[in-house]
Amino acid sequence: MIDSVEIIGLIAAILTTLAFIPQVIKVISTNSSKGLSLTTFIIFIIGVILWFIYGIFKSSISMILGNGITFFLALIIIVYIIKNKKTNL
């Protein structure tokens, strides 16, 4: 059974994960990552990997699922930023 605290975590995980979808859509549809900081997303994705590991130790389904998906969304953004930087060289 999922307790009420875990439900807060689950909603938090869903929100901080879904949050990146509009940004990913914006980057893909405009084919531009202008304005986005590469440093931010690289530091962020390393943090997300550590949160994922932390979630495994804390047996937190919310953290494992949320950070797992956020990892892939942040990765898409990073790929676009690097691709755009290369194009602009």
Binding site for a copy of itself (CB under 8 A): 5, 8-9, 11-23, 25-27, 30, 32-37, 39-41, 43-44, 46-48, 50-51, 53-54, 57-58, 60, 62
User: Minimum CB separation from a copy of itself for residue 72, in Å?
Assistant: 15
User: Minimum CB separation from a copy of itself for residue 8, in Å?
Assistant: 5
User: Minimum CB separation from a copy of itself for residue 37, in Å?
Assistant: 4
Beta carbons of 45 and 74 less than 8 angstroms apart:
yes
Q: Count CB-CB contacts under 10 A for residue 77.
A: 22
